[in-house]
């Protein structure tokens, strides 16, 4: 094979060396428009996993990289005059320029034709002349742009400004310096990469950047390679306490905004994308160099392992895409955390340190405990004392999910909530034995709060014929049977969610066709505007008159009184997922021109009228919550910033806690689905609006629950499908963590099963074969000490 590589960065060079070493290609040519000794940036960081792959793929390269590594284990968080250290992480860094020199030498030794200071020929010419063209030409890839119609690229520009600098202050660990200035909060990401130099990245939100006056310096044309010296002088001034007498080094150092690049496809015939040309991930979770070299290794291996170029490129993308998507998801969470850094500056330094360490959701409470048990134990102890001061618990240290929580006169034994999940098994709105067993079983399973499905306030307010209701006294009596069981047989509390389906009503049961209309129409649907959920499929809703609104408001009040009589401990108003009240809030579904449409305040008017009337009818000592869709996941719809205003409005109306969900308002939505994907919205509302929140959405492990609570992202966690899989999820989580206490009480008849059963042979106990015991493993706190 004859291979052409466009771009002589680490990814392109490493690929060229590997395919020559493997004998995949007889001829490999690399074109790089910059000179061999040009490089932009300073240090690059590698994970142990990546280094393991490099070591096995090419020991020559690894051995020479290893000689250059700065290695350390600690992360220091400098915040509000304190330094909090987490150890056991394991970092290896080196200078980017030295890495390029090593890769260039390896390529020359293997016979790769390196052409520096030479732009690549036209890609169409290369396609015709070479068997494979590898586009590793970076973020601004011309190859990607040339075939944009095939690759399907998207570019998302983010809201922070950052600048790459170096310093001769040699850090001994990874450093986060978080600095509150008169302009707002700024941060430094710093780490050593050789015996004399460290990377020094300054980053801040766009608004802070402008308030500090950096825009005045940056708003001009710069010569190629020129650095923004005026901005750099101000950075020196702002971070003089960090730098001391150390100098800042520049290398084409100007303000940047991070661009996340994604491509629908990575190949076009015999052209394939690699590294930043295919994807980018925010520098706060690792280097683009790491991802590019992993791509190179995978592509070279696939070319060796597969018969035929097409099969090899298909295998390459199938292998790498899931890894990259996962990395980008973590990077997105991390970069959004830094964009919103200002909302965390009121946190206690211990909580802040835990929060920054777990920001990407890849490092979790349990993962961090394994790396540095002392760090996590200190944060757990702080959380217990902090919650005691807020009136929650006695200060006993326990897993965060088992700390109690109080709302008005209601005290929950733990922070786990069974999420509202529609069961679609009722007849004429009546809950039956299924609901008793379903909800009663979850209460016996240890959850602190069990929520009903959406209980409808009228027959025509149902989603499906199988939805439950509270529009009759008979229904209230049936619900009282359920609440009595929960109260008499478990320490759990039970809440009811009241709602009206709006334009999403009169549909089939879920397993018969989600959101599909009933064959005969059955009942009329209503909404703020005559806009069907799916045009041509669902009914066109009748636009509600002011008289209709008054009638529906009274239906909610009547259902509220029945809920109080039925014995529910908490009342939630459903204002999410495109149902009636949600469709008033969203501009996508509310096109009214009267007092109930138009401005955000007008769109909130009817939901707030309903909530206020319910609050007046609900016992004063019992709490109320509201479920909202914090984003519509659609252009022109509700977004995260709007959700803070919505939450504040309900808090002012008397809401004690906000249940933060997202979407399901418009079928054209494009949610960023993934683990705990809705938690950042609960986080923002809690820390910006100052109201308690419930997080919901693919929270399925106790580790995620502990991480969310300890970082201050939410006060309660709703767990849905995991409870369908395991009705005793909370009790099993306690057993898995070795917790026995008031936060997780096993029913007395089940006490014998409170420990996990043995499942076969184990590897212990082992014979003692050492004269001296090694003792407990200790946290690695290695610091970088240049020799």
Catalytic residue ranges: 579
Eight-class DSSP state of 668: T
Return the SS3 of 503.
Answer: helix
The burial of 783, by beta-carbon neighbours within 10 Å (0-12 exposed, 13-18 middle, 19 or more buried), is given as middle
What is the separation of C-alpha 647 from the centre of its chain, rounded to a whole number of angstroms? Answer: 20
For 177, 771, 777, the CA distances from 774, given in Å and listed in that order, are: 37, 9, 8
Sorted by sequence, the CB contacts under 8 Å of residue 692 that are 6+ apart come out as 407, 656, 657, 658, 686, 715, 716
Spatial contact of 135 and 202, defined as CB atoms under 8 Å apart: no
Spatial contact of 192 and 198, defined as CB atoms under 8 Å apart: yes
Strands (E), 193-278: 198-205, 248-249, 256-263, 267-268, 271-273
Parallel, antiparallel or unpaired: strands 70-72 and 27-32? unpaired
Spatial contact of 280 and 292, defined as CB atoms under 8 Å apart: no
* Residue burial 157-182, b: 16+ Cβ < 10 Å; e: rest: ebebbbbbbbbebbbbbbbbbbbeee
Strands (E), 646-771: 657-661, 693-696, 716-719
Spatial contact of 624 and 655, defined as CB atoms under 8 Å apart: yes
Strands (E), 295-415: 405-407, 410-412
Q: How many CA atoms lie within 13 A of 333 on its CB side?
A: 27
Q: How many CA atoms lie within 13 A of 123 on its CB side?
A: 22
- Whole-number Å distance between alpha carbons of 448 and 494: 8
Tell which residue, 336, 332, 324, 368, has the closest CA to residue 350. 368
Tell which residue, 535, 534, 502, 540, has the closest CA to residue 521. 540
Strands (E), 474-623: 493-499, 526-527, 542-543, 570-575
Spatial contact of 647 and 685, defined as CB atoms under 8 Å apart: yes
C-alpha R_g of the chain: 29
For 139, 275, 443, 719, 738, the CA distances from 136, given in Å and listed in that order, are: 9, 6, 55, 43, 50
Parallel, antiparallel or unpaired: strands 570-575 and 526-527? unpaired
What is the separation of C-alpha 453 from the centre of its chain, rounded to a whole number of angstroms? Answer: 26
Spatial contact of 265 and 279, defined as CB atoms under 8 Å apart: no
Q: What are the strands of the beta sheet with 113-116, ordered from one edge?
A: 113-116, 27-32, 2-6, 132-135, 271-273, 267-268
- Whole-number Å distance between alpha carbons of 601 and 581: 14
Residues for the chain: how many in total? 787
């Amino acid at each position: 094979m004859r291979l052409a590589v466009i771009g002589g960065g680490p990814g392109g060079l490493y690929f060229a060396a590997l395919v020559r070493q493997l004998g995949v290609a007889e001829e490999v040519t690399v074109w790089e428009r910059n000179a061999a000794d040009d490089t932009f940036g300073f240090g690059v960081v590698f994970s142990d996993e990546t280094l393991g792959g490099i070591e096995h793929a090419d020991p020559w390269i690894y051995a020479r990289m290893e000689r250059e590594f700065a290695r350390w284990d600690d992360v220091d968080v400098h915040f509000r005059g304190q330094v909090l250290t987490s150890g056991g992480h394991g970092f290896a860094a080196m200078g980017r320029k030295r890495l390029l020199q090593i890769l260039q030498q390896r390529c020359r030794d293997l016979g790769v034709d390196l052409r520096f200071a030479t732009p690549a020929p036209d890609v169409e010419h290369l396609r015709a002349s070479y068997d494979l063209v590898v586009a590793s030409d970076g973020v601004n890839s011309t190859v990607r742009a040339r075939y944009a119609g095939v690759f399907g690229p998207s570019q998302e520009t983010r809201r922070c400004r950052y600048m790459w600098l170096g310093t001769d202050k040699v850090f001994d660990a990874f450093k986060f310096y978080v600095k509150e200035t008169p302009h707002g909060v700024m941060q430094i990401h710093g780490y050593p990469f050789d015996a004399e130099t460290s990377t020094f990245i300054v980053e801040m939100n766009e608004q802070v950047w402008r308030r500090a006056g950096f825009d005045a310096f940056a708003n001009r044309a710069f010569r190629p390679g020129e650095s923004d010296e005026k901005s750099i002088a101000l950075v020196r001034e702002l971070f003089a306490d960090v730098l001391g007498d150390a100098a800042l080094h520049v290398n084409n150092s100007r303000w940047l905004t991070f661009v996340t690049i994604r491509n629908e496809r990575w190949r076009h015939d015999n052209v394939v994308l690699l590294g930043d040309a295919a994807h980018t991930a925010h520098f706060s979770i690792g280097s683009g160099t790491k991802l590019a070299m992993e791509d190179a290794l995978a592509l070279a291996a696939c070319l060796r392992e597969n018969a035929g170029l097409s099969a090899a490129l298909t295998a390459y993308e199938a292998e790498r895409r899931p890894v990259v998507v996962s990395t980008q998801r973590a990077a997105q969470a991390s970069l959004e955390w830094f964009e919103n850094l200002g909302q965390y500056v009121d946190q206690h330094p211990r909580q802040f340190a835990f929060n920054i360490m777990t920001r990407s959701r890849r490092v979790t409470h349990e993962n961090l405990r394994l790396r540095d048990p002392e760090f996590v134990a200190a944060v757990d102890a702080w959380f217990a004392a902090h919650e005691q001061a807020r009136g929650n618990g006695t200060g006993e240290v326990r897993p965060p999910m088992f700390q109690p929580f109080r709302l008005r006169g209601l005290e929950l034994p733990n922070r786990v909530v069974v999420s509202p999940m529609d069961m679609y098994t009722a007849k004429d709105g009546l809950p039956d034995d299924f609901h008793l067993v379903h909800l009663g079983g979850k209460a016996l399973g240890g959850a602190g709060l069990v929520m009903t499905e959406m209980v409808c306030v009228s027959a025509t307010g149902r989603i499906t014929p199988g939805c439950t209701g509270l529009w009759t006294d008979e229904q209230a009596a049936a619900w009282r049977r359920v609440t009595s069981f929960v109260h008499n047989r478990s320490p759990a509390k039970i809440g009811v969610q009241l709602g009206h389906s709006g334009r999403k009503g009169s549909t089939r049961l879920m397993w018969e066709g989600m959101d599909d209309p009933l064959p005969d129409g059955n009942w009329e649907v209503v909404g703020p505007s005559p806009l069907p959920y799916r045009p041509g499929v669902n009914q066109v809703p009748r636009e509600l008159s002011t008289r209709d609104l008054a009638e529906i408001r009274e239906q909610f009040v009547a259902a509220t009184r029945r809920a109080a009589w039925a014995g529910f401990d908490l009342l939630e108003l459903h204002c999410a997922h495109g149902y009636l009240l949600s469709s008033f809030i969203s501009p996508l579904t509310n096109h009214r021109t009267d007092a109930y449409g138009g401005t955000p305040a007008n769109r909130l008017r009817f939901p707030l009228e309903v909530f206020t009337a319910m609050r007046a009818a609900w016992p004063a000592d019992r709490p109320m919550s509201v479920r909202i869709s914090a984003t519509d996941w659609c252009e022109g719809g509700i977004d995260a910033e709007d959700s803070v205003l919505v939450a504040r409005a309900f808090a002012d109306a008397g809401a004690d806690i906000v249940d933060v969900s997202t979407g399901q308002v418009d079928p054209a939505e494009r949610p960023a689905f993934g683990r705990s994907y809705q938690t950042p919205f609960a986080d923002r509302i809690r820390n910006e609006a100052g109201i308690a929140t419930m997080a919901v959405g693919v929270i399925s492990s106790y580790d995620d629950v502990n991480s969310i609570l300890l970082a201050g992202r939410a006060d309660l966690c709703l767990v849905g499908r995991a409870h369908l899989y395991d009705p005793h999820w909370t009790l099993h989580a306690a057993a898995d963590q070795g917790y026995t206490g008031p936060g997780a009480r096993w029913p007395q008849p089940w006490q014998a099963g409170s420990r996990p059963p043995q499942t076969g042979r184990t590897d212990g106990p082992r014979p003692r074969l050492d004269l001296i015991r090694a003792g407990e493993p200790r946290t690695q706190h290695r610091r970088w000490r240049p020799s």
